[in-house]
Structure 1
Amino acid sequence: MKVLCVAEKNSIAKSVSQILSGGNIQVSNSPYKYVKNYKFNYDGFSFATGNGSCEVTMTSVAGHLTSTDFNNEFYGWGRCNPFELFDANISHSKNPDQQKIGTNIQTLARNVDYLMIWTDCDREGEYIGWEIFEEAKKGNSRLNNNNLYRAIFSHLERRHIINAARNPERLDQRAVEAVGTRIELDLRTGVSFTRLLTDTMARKVEMNTLSQNNNRRVKKNKEKTVISYGPCQFPTLGFVVDRHERIRNFRKEEFWSIQLIVTDPSQSSTTTFTWDRGHLFDRLSVLTFYEVCLELAGNQAKVCDVKSKPVTKWRPFPLTTVELQKNCARYFKMNAKQSLLAAEKLYQKGFISYPRTETDTFPQSMDLKSLIEKQYKDCNPSAWSTYAQNLLEGLDSANPNNKFRFPRAGSHDDKAHPPIHPVIGIGPNVFFDPNEKKVYEYVVRHFLACCSEDGKGQMTSISLDWNNEVFNANGLVVLERNWLDIYPWMKWENSKTMPRLEMNQDVTITKAEMKNGFTSPPKPMTESELIMLMDANGIGTDATIAEHIEKIKARNYITSDKVSKETYLNPTVLGIALVQGFEAIGLEDSFAKPFQRREMEDDLKKICRGTLTKREVVNDIVNKYKDYYSRTDQNKNKLLQVYDQVKQVGLTA
């Protein structure tokens, strides 16, 4: 029996081949220099007759095997009305590198009995697997759905890969259709609106750029300015512009409040009690409360409530892609693209599980304790190895005193991959670049924190009655830090010692004062916040969020500005003009808001469930965009007018 296995990347093909062959591999070159062919024998495939030994050739692609576009002869830029692209025929082609990879697959598939797909286990991986299948059939007409299999795996640990080889499944054709739908819609809507916006605005933007640089020598840019549109790019831009507008339109307001300060003679410490009403914007009202309390109660208050209760600092949920990107941005100031790239390299090297996942729940059957053991056994001592060992200490005794706890279950499960977790520990000859090192340590610490006990503390709350006005103070004593000992980015500290007061006890007020303050504007958008907003509103997937942020930076719709230790995202004149221009046309809900894209993502899920078809979704959304296009084309002068207005007003007005 001959089997052709095809992975999504050469590094995965190499690792899987080494595991299945036991290291006995013959390596040869392919027409594409970054793809190798690995030949070996393997006897574990369940589909092989009699489970006998198979001659296996394993190779790979390098991402998508085809490119989807319009025929340039008929639909190239300037050769048709962009509106025609909503109904134009779409072609699938290969660039020279893709052609070389395709030729390699055709050649290797000629005499095989089975084709096994080893692409990443997500929607995109299913689509790439289908592309591989279509290419292999060109070299072997005997290949069909009956001799096509698909390996299900999420990391490169040996037992996991062997299990994937022994228990293959079939390609998910519905997922293939969902990705094909997204590719077609993004192409039709993106290209048509990009051409419309560029034809309308590019000249004005170029002239503005030249005028800004008229006092210095500027190298002439031969590339045409492109004002691109993307159904994920624009809502992403909309979030940044919305924050900018809220800051620019903010007007501070003065407010007033009352606070009491009480001294505990036994401890020579003071405690501040805050007003239960918070603060009010009417100074006269607060002054009235203050003067009445002073007149009728003086400096005496009464304890009206004393509570002491245990509190819990919950350990984090298991790690998803979005949480990884968000926290790497927050803790390490790494942008989403950098953190995801580092995570993918770690996955390809076999150190962590597949880093593109929406799942925040570990299956009960998963052996998490063996993963913890690998962080202190057979690896170099690390900053967390002792903690990992202590988690499992006493696990096998009659009265185990270990602190291992099965992780909390979140509310998301994509049914494809488990949460991100470490697979192996750091060996003696491991070399990481700085970003890989940070991401690996974060993944390990997050995983260990998930498997730890929650933090435990005691919260004391005291309320004072000052002439029927209530004032509160809280104090925290941390009793057990637990997971916080391995998670240095989260703070949970003891607060000031509370005074020793009892119910109905009279208390002398050291100071009662009326204080004022001012409301503060929101801060500019950080990348961590933007990732959270995109995830919450269904803009992009866990794997593409970083791409959309980078795209609007590259198009000069936003800038990334460092202030002190923080990096903020701010819109440019062009970015603001695009969002406000579509608002002027009346399309803000469809372009700068997330509703349209969220609706499409919901439709893609319905395709995966079989309740909608690709053609139904494409027809529905294309018809909507035809209407958006017509309205934009009829009102395109508004885009230019808004651009001039924003340029005149400036960014800081």
Structure 2
Amino acid sequence: MRVLCVAEKPSIARAITQILSGGQYTTRDSPNRFTKNYDFNYNDLRAEFTVTSVAGHMTEADFPGEYRSWDSCDPAELFDAPILTTVKKDATLIARNLEIEARGKTMLMIWTDCDREGEHIGSEVVNACRKSNARIEVKRARFNAIIPQQIHHAARHPVELDRRQSDAVEARIQLDLRLGAAFTRMQTKALQNQVPDLRDKMMSYGPCQFPTLGFVVSRYQQVQAFVPETFWYIYLSLMVDGEETDFTWRRGHIFDFGATVALYEVCVENPEATVEEVTKKPTKKWKPLPLTTVELQKSGSRLLRLAPKRILDIADSLYQKGFLSYPRTETDQFDSDFDFMTLIQKQTTDDAWGQFAQGLANGGFNAPRKGKKNDKAHPPIHPTAHVTNLSGDDKRVYEYVTRRFLACCSKDAEGEQTNVTINVAGEEFYAAGLVIKQTNYLDVFPYDKWTGKRLPDFARGQRFMPNVCEMREGQTSRPNLLTEADLVGLMDKNGIGTDATIAQHIQTIIDREYVMARPEGAVKYLVPSTLGIGLVEGYNRIGLDRSLSKPQLRRETEQRMVDICEGRSTKNDMLFQSIDQYREVFLRARAAFRQVVEVGGLALYRATS
């Protein structure tokens, strides 16, 4: 049997070859100077293997020439215009290599990443190979990490290529091409005609891009519209052995000054406190859940101060080198038969966390918590090898993933919580204390903090005079602008993009200058530009907030793609429904676009930009 294996990237092809061949292979050049062909005998299957690769997607979708010029047609025609799928110019030699290598082969084994995009790239590979070998048998290798055990298992037990996932990607590509081109041409030309300062600028539109922008603008407007309210509260404290214990008023705070004064005066007249209740109970700080792509982006942005796209790029690179599992997963639970001990044992030699890993290997292991998500495709992100020669951001991302994995395999931190309730003149106050008994997972996961606070020994019925009894004033706090971590969470919650595309959508609205990242200390907040605010506000004011800057319509589209993957719908049905919805929105937007400019303040762009 002669098998052609095709990976998604040259680095993956080389890694697969090293593992399957045991280092005994020959290398041949291909028509593309970056792509190599590797030949060897794979004794496990008694087969001759050739391993090669593509470089991501080989094809691109576009309109025929008569539709490509911005002045060639009414943008509304793009909703029905034909779409051509052709091999990209920079992929022609890669496609040619596949045609040549497929000749005489018995089987084509697809080794692309195991996600929707990987299935679609696999379909592109099949089409290229069948140009020269129409009868080649097609199989799919499924793996989550580039480690020998998984690579050998994938080669020995190939499955079928998932055409439904490929169809879902094809539907998204075609839909986004139509929507992006039609809306971008319409709003760019209209703005260039009506706003002189925008004559040389392209104002792009994307069906995920605009709801993402909408979240940023909405929060910015909440911050701008915020008016602080004054409130009042009663503060009590007791000083024991030089340590102050603060008591919180059970009412919290009151916005009525007179009512607060009346209650405070009663407390001042009868200031003696009586301990009503003292409770002590065990408490825990839960160890983290297994790591998903979305959580990696959120935590990496918040803790490592890296942009979500940068975090994913690094994780992808570490995966290709065999250091991490596949970093695009929605799953936050490990299978019961997952081999934890082999991976933990690999970390026992590390200078920073090796001793902790050794403790897990010697009986300290505790099964990870199970989250609520399982994409049935990939396990949570975890380290697959121990590596010591990383530096910079690569090292920081690898360390976070590894420490989180070890923390997941440890025990929750344990403590004892004390709650004390006191009564002063009929008003209740309370204080909470914490004694940490066992730090457990916190020993390896410094990103979580848990601080103990001892309370004096109180007894029920005890009476004492507070050292401080004051009426204090405060104000409600304005909401913060969104951070990238906040935005990732909102997009995930509202179904905008996928775990693998969220970071790119955020980067796009920054690149388009709809949003700026403004540093404040160690945090970067997202601030919409005048143009970004104007477009969102303009569309909202003409009644298109649900369809363009809000997530509902795109969420419906994403669900239709899931329906294709799960066999409840077809590519053609999804396109028919979604194109009709967006066409109606487009026609309404175009008819009222002068109002978009006026109500969105874009006519004053020069004065405020």
Measure, in 2, the Cα distance between the counterparts of 1:22 and 1:129. Answer: 26
CA 1:586–1:363: 2 relative to 1, 3 Å? same
1:517 aligns with 2:474: yes
State the SS of the aligned residue for 2:232. Answer: strand
Q: Which residue of 1 aligns with 2:435?
A: 477
Q: Which residue of 1 aligns with 2:325?
A: 353
Letter in 2 for 1:491: K
Alignment equivalent of 2:498, drawn from 532, 536, 541: 541
Alignment equivalent of 2:141, drawn from 151, 156, 178: 151
Letter in 2 for 1:408: R
C-alpha displacement of 1:515: 0.5
Measure, in 2, the Cα distance between the counterparts of 1:651 and 1:324. Answer: 37
State the SS of the aligned residue for 1:591. Answer: helix
1:199 aligns with 2:189: yes
Q: Which residue of 1 aligns with 2:23?
A: 23
C-alpha displacement of 1:204: 5.1
1:241 aligns with 2:217: yes
Q: Which residue of 2 aligns with 1:275?
A: 249
Q: How does 1:351-430 map to 2 (within 5 A)?
A: 351-377=323-349, 381-393=350-362, 402-426=363-387, 430=389
Letter in 1 for 2:352: A
Deviations 1:461-483 (A, max 9, x none): 00011122110100111111111
Measure, in 2, the Cα distance between the counterparts of 1:510 and 1:646. Answer: 61
Letter in 2 for 1:626: R
Q: Which residue of 2 aligns with 1:602?
A: 559
Q: Which residue of 1 aligns with 2:11?
A: 11
Measure, in 2, the Cα distance between the counterparts of 1:651 and 1:440. Answer: 43
Alignment equivalent of 1:57, drawn from 46, 50, 66: 50
Contact 2:192 2:198 in 1 (8 A): no
Letter in 2 for 1:424: A
Measure, in 2, the Cα distance between the counterparts of 1:524 and 1:539. Answer: 19
Q: How does 1:269-348 map to 2 (within 5 A)?
A: 269-295=243-269, 298-348=270-320
C-alpha displacement of 1:31: 1.4
C-alpha displacement of 1:44: 2.5
C-alpha displacement of 1:433: 4.4
C-alpha displacement of 1:208: 2.9
Letter in 1 for 2:102: A
Contact 2:319 2:325 in 1 (8 A): yes
Contact 1:35 1:61 in 2 (8 A): yes
Letter in 2 for 1:289: L
Letter in 1 for 2:439: R
C-alpha displacement of 1:187: 1.1
Deviations 1:82-119 (A, max 9, x none): 10111111100122221111111011111111110000
C-alpha displacement of 1:602: 1.2
Measure, in 1, the Cα distance between the counterparts of 2:69 and 2:244. Answer: 75
C-alpha displacement of 1:174: 1.1
TM-score of the two chains, using structure 2 as the length reference: 0.97
1:94 aligns with 2:51: no
CA 1:502–1:307: 2 relative to 1, 3 Å? same
Letter in 2 for 1:569: L
C-alpha displacement of 1:368: 0.5
CA 1:651–1:570: 2 relative to 1, 3 Å? farther
C-alpha displacement of 1:646: 8.0
Q: Which residue of 2 aligns with 1:218?
A: none
Measure, in 1, the Cα distance between the counterparts of 2:345 and 2:450. Answer: 28
Contact 1:106 1:138 in 2 (8 A): yes
Letter in 2 for 1:327: S
Q: Which residue of 2 aligns with 1:254?
A: 230
Contact 1:392 1:404 in 2 (8 A): yes
CA 1:646–1:407: 2 relative to 1, 3 Å? farther
Measure, in 2, the Cα distance between the counterparts of 1:127 and 1:610. Answer: 16
Contact 1:357 1:420 in 2 (8 A): yes
C-alpha displacement of 1:417: 0.8
Q: Which residue of 2 aligns with 1:397?
A: none
Contact 1:75 1:85 in 2 (8 A): no
Contact 1:70 1:76 in 2 (8 A): no
Letter in 2 for 1:242: S
Letter in 2 for 1:129: G
Letter in 2 for 1:334: L
C-alpha displacement of 1:559: 0.6
State the SS of the aligned residue for 2:284. Answer: strand
Alignment equivalent of 1:121, drawn from 90, 98, 114: 114
C-alpha displacement of 1:202: 3.2
Q: Which residue of 1 aligns with 2:424?
A: 466
Alignment equivalent of 1:163, drawn from 153, 156, 168: 153
Alignment equivalent of 1:185, drawn from 172, 175, 182: 175
Alignment equivalent of 1:83, drawn from 66, 69, 76: 76
State the SS of the aligned residue for 2:513. Answer: coil
Contact 1:10 1:62 in 2 (8 A): yes
Gapped runs of 5+ residues in structure 1? 46-52, 211-223, 394-401
Contact 2:531 2:602 in 1 (8 A): no
RMSD of Structure 2 on Structure 1 (CA): 1.6
Q: Which residue of 2 aligns with 1:208?
A: 197
C-alpha displacement of 1:649: 11
Measure, in 1, the Cα distance between the counterparts of 2:458 and 2:289. Answer: 38
Measure, in 1, the Cα distance between the counterparts of 2:608 and 2:386. Answer: 49
TM-score of the two chains, using structure 1 as the length reference: 0.91
C-alpha displacement of 1:209: 6.5
Percent identity at matched positions? Answer: 45
Contact 2:278 2:421 in 1 (8 A): yes
Letter in 1 for 2:355: T
Large movers: runs of 4+ above 4 Å = 645-652
Measure, in 2, the Cα distance between the counterparts of 1:244 and 1:117. Answer: 46
Gapped runs of 5+ residues in structure 2? none
Range moving further from structure 2, 441-450 or 605-614: 605-614
State the SS of the aligned residue for 1:138. Answer: coil
Measure, in 1, the Cα distance between the counterparts of 2:130 and 2:606. Answer: 60
Measure, in 1, the Cα distance between the counterparts of 2:254 and 2:175. Answer: 51
CA 1:552–1:493: 2 relative to 1, 3 Å? same
Letter in 1 for 2:246: T
Alignment equivalent of 2:239, drawn from 263, 272, 279: 263
Measure, in 1, the Cα distance between the counterparts of 2:315 and 2:17. Answer: 22
C-alpha displacement of 1:76: 2.9
Contact 1:375 1:425 in 2 (8 A): yes
State the SS of the aligned residue for 1:547. Answer: helix
Letter in 1 for 2:55: A
Measure, in 2, the Cα distance between the counterparts of 1:8 and 1:116. Answer: 12
Q: Which residue of 1 aligns with 2:61?
A: 68
C-alpha displacement of 1:294: 2.8
C-alpha displacement of 1:535: 1.1
Measure, in 1, the Cα distance between the counterparts of 2:61 and 2:439. Answer: 53
